[in-house]
Structure 1
Amino acid sequence: MTSRPTSRTPTSRLPALVYVLAAGIFLMGTTEFMVAGLLPDVAADLNVDLAQAGLLVTAFAVGMVIGPPVMALATLRLPAQATLIGALAVFAAGHLVAAVSDSFTVVIVSRVVTALATGTFWATGAVVAAAVAGPGASARALAVMSGGLSLAVVAGVPLGTFAGQFVGWRGPFWMLAALTVPAIFAVLRFAPRAAGNKQTRVAIGAEVATVRSGRMWLVLGVIVLAQAGFLGAYSFISPLLTDRAGLPAVLVPLVLVGFGIGALAGTAIGGRLGDRRPLTTVAVAVSATSVLLLILAATASHSMVVVGLVVVVGATGLGANPVLIAQTLQFAGHGSRLASSLATAAFNLGTATGSALAATTLSSSLGVVGPAVLGAGITVTALIPLALLAARSRSRTDTTTSSRVEPTRVAVGVS
């Protein structure tokens, strides 16, 4: 009788649960980015100005930075399946409350609550996806899961914004709440049931201990810097396309769809390469993104070149993300919800910080190409913690090899 392999090969099929989790991320990515296109309707309907309506974006970002680590510890005693279902249920409820409310304050609160649910689902889902895929395919599984976010950019956001133009901003909120219901049943069907409270009580101390890993914090540093540079530049890509490249505003959504397609391809390629050469994959993606952002700034007046670069930058800028999540889980110990939540928070911290810094360059002499130039400079600094990580990993490998060889050498000398 032949034994079954304990880990999946890069060519084996991933469990259905990974795709279910990707579907959940698709819904959550749609709500995160779709709201920006609905702000004028929200402002008019709720009698606030556009700047106030923009707080809906800020509220979600704040919830995604602070919420994941807090919720990871708060839900640690719950089985993973229950945590995922609870996050989806709260996500749906948050959208229902927003859809029926006439109070801007209530809608703001619902966005924060929705962000907490999103962060919880991301953090727990990443751990579950990596676990069910096995160590040989964890980065690929996380790439599929992250692909749900890229697909949201490609399809979910444009469709949600388009629907909002015809039925009002509340329509997409109702739609997302409804689509969450089959996602809940799918998680019930495919997610494994976790062990009981006795084991999770023991795990709480170990969970906190996972954040002491120096290598894990270096990975988080790479995430913050790479994300701040790349998404800081992306946040202001629309004015670059219209004001400098000369594209009609009506074509900008199509360019952003191209960006999403590039991101989808990048996460798939990065996930496949990242299981074999994780640090090399991240280094190539970060370096390429920095160089491409500089080229984007230098060729900003050539519309066709800019469009092509936006698509490629989407691939390199997001291609390393599943690898970085997998590395965070590896150095903290697979199964750590807290470590996964810190990765989620790091991505959103980088996004918020990068966008704020990039905004300051618009009033400089660089104008609309300022975010791309600054983004290139910030992104390349991610190579510093990455180099330190590579050095520490190599040092630990050499130490382990030495400790294994030394007893053999002494034994031979004694004999």
Structure 2
Amino acid sequence: MPAGLAALALGGFGIGLTEFVILGLLPEVAADFRVTIPQAGYLVSGYALSVAVGGVLVTAGTAHLRPKRVLVGLMVLFVIGNLLSAIAETYSAMMVGRVVAALCHGAFFGIGSVLAASLVPPQRKAQAISIMFLGLTLANVLGVPLGTLLGQGLGWRSTFWTITAIGVVALLGLLAFIPDRTADARPPGQLRRELAAFRDGQVWLSILVTVFGFGAMFGAFTYIAPILTQVTGLPDGAIPWMLVLFGVGLFAGNLAGGRAADRDLDRTLLTLLGSLTVVLVGFALVVGNPWAAGIALFLLGAVGFASVPGMQMRVLEFASAAPTLASGVNISAFNTGNAIGAWLGGVTIAAGYGYRSPIVVGAALAVVALAVMALAAASHRRLAQRQATAPLTSSTTAH
């Protein structure tokens, strides 16, 4: 594995940790700031929306700069944001820290995805992207459970101080291992040509699959700590271990999903989104049983995150004329889905439907994602068939 991929995964680990660790600490954060659980959940939505906006604007605004310098600058921003979160005295100050840290997220993974794909042979691009996203899975396997355990024992601020330190280490890794390449040339009108790539309907259908597919997983997972304590009946001390199960599922699913997407992209996404729907429906039905809930949580991580490399690769495939901008837009789409899922889950809880309702919200979003993917795959298949028969028709006519 190229050392550059390892450096990207390290940066992804730090960013993934700051995004996900708060999910296991929502009760502690809510109690400290004297807000409700749904209000604390908006710290997740606020982060995700900032990623959605920053992923597009920052990626487009820095495309003319050297990728390494951009990644280093983004990691500095990440460290500052987590430092602000660690010292926040009010809910509003905490939100500011989350927003600042989130601004680096989309551009980091957007630029990093293109760079990762360029470091390996063409037939291994999806696998390379999955390795870069491996940092996210390791953040869930190791970082989130340990961060939750640390936050429960020493206070949630200790977790964010630790994340700040990890960000510094990740920054050193980027400086040491990322090649300092020149930026891609951008002749006059290049941005306009990049935007023209979004005229392809398949690009927008792929982005919608990302929004609803990732939103499905986070509709359920955002409120996993109160779900497991209030519905499943587990003690607070069991939450980190349940998060380990979810993280192991992410790790396995991410690697398997990258390999499967390289073989058959559309079929892989259809299979995974259908499986995600089934898993979420099953999770809603068995969440009251600790053992069954643990199995469902593992499957949610495995199936939900196995689709991530394919979702990213599909957008890159249909927007090949603008890979960096398209990659950044799709990273924004992941976090738009995250925000939608977290917001809808909070709305149903606040409306009095209980902590089981976010899982039902996730299942509904998965159905929408599956329907959009089926439409996209059918449209792509029809276009491919027309293109395949066109040369034969022309040849016959000429003869």
**CA 1:253–1:169 in structure 2 vs 1: closer, same or farther (change >3 Å)?**
closer
Aligned residue runs from structure 1 range 188-199, under 5 A: 188-195=175-182, 198-199=185-186
Q: Contact (CA 8 Å) 1:229, 1:376: kept in 2 or not?
A: yes
Aligned residue runs from structure 1 range 328-347, under 5 A: 328-333=315-320, 336-347=323-334
Aligned residue runs from structure 1 range 7-406, under 5 A: 14-37=1-24, 48-51=33-36, 56-99=43-86, 105-165=92-152, 168-195=155-182, 198-199=185-186, 203-333=190-320, 336-362=323-349, 367-406=354-393
Shift of 1:380: 1.6
Distance in 1 of aligned mates of 2:160 and 2:239? 24
Distance in 2 of aligned mates of 1:128 and 1:162? 34
Q: Contact (CA 8 Å) 1:242, 1:248: kept in 2 or not?
A: yes
Distance in 2 of aligned mates of 1:301 and 1:107? 33
**CA 1:97–1:303 in structure 2 vs 1: closer, same or farther (change >3 Å)?**
closer
Q: Give the aligned residue type for 2:271.
A: V
Superposed CA deviations along residues 18-65 of structure 1, whole A, max 9, x for unmatched, are: 2211111110111112235556766787xx433576654443222112
Shift of 1:395: 2.4
**CA 1:198–1:269 in structure 2 vs 1: closer, same or farther (change >3 Å)?**
closer
Q: Give the aligned residue type for 1:345.
A: S
Shift of 1:355: 2.3
Q: Give the aligned residue type for 2:330.
A: A
Shift of 1:121: 0.7
Q: Give the aligned residue type for 1:49.
A: R
Distance in 2 of aligned mates of 1:54 and 1:231? 11
Q: Contact (CA 8 Å) 1:359, 1:371: kept in 2 or not?
A: yes
- Which range is displaced more, 334-343 or 85-94? 334-343
SS in 1 for 2:133: helix
Distance in 2 of aligned mates of 1:245 and 1:95? 32
Distance in 2 of aligned mates of 1:333 and 1:55? 35
Distance in 2 of aligned mates of 1:106 and 1:240? 27
Shift of 1:274: 0.5
Distance in 2 of aligned mates of 1:370 and 1:54? 14
Shift of 1:107: 4.4
Tell me what 1:4 maps to: none
Distance in 2 of aligned mates of 1:201 and 1:372? 48
Distance in 1 of aligned mates of 2:30 and 2:301? 30
Q: Could you state the TM-score of these two structures normalised by the residue count of structure 1? A: 0.86
Shift of 1:104: 5.9
Shift of 1:367: 3.7
Q: Give the aligned residue type for 1:237.
A: I
Q: Contact (CA 8 Å) 1:76, 1:200: kept in 2 or not?
A: no
| Count of residues in Structure 1 that have an aligned counterpart in Structure 2 | 397
Distance in 1 of aligned mates of 2:43 and 2:77? 17
Distance in 1 of aligned mates of 2:281 and 2:53? 32
Shift of 1:119: 1.8
- Sequence identity (%): 35
Distance in 2 of aligned mates of 1:27 and 1:49? 28
Shift of 1:331: 0.7
Distance in 2 of aligned mates of 1:379 and 1:55? 21
RMSD: 2.8
* Structure 2: tracts of 5 or more residues without a match: none
**CA 1:345–1:312 in structure 2 vs 1: closer, same or farther (change >3 Å)?**
same
Superposed CA deviations along residues 325-356 of structure 1, whole A, max 9, x for unmatched, are: 01111111166222112111111111221222
- Which range is displaced more, 180-189 or 208-217? 180-189
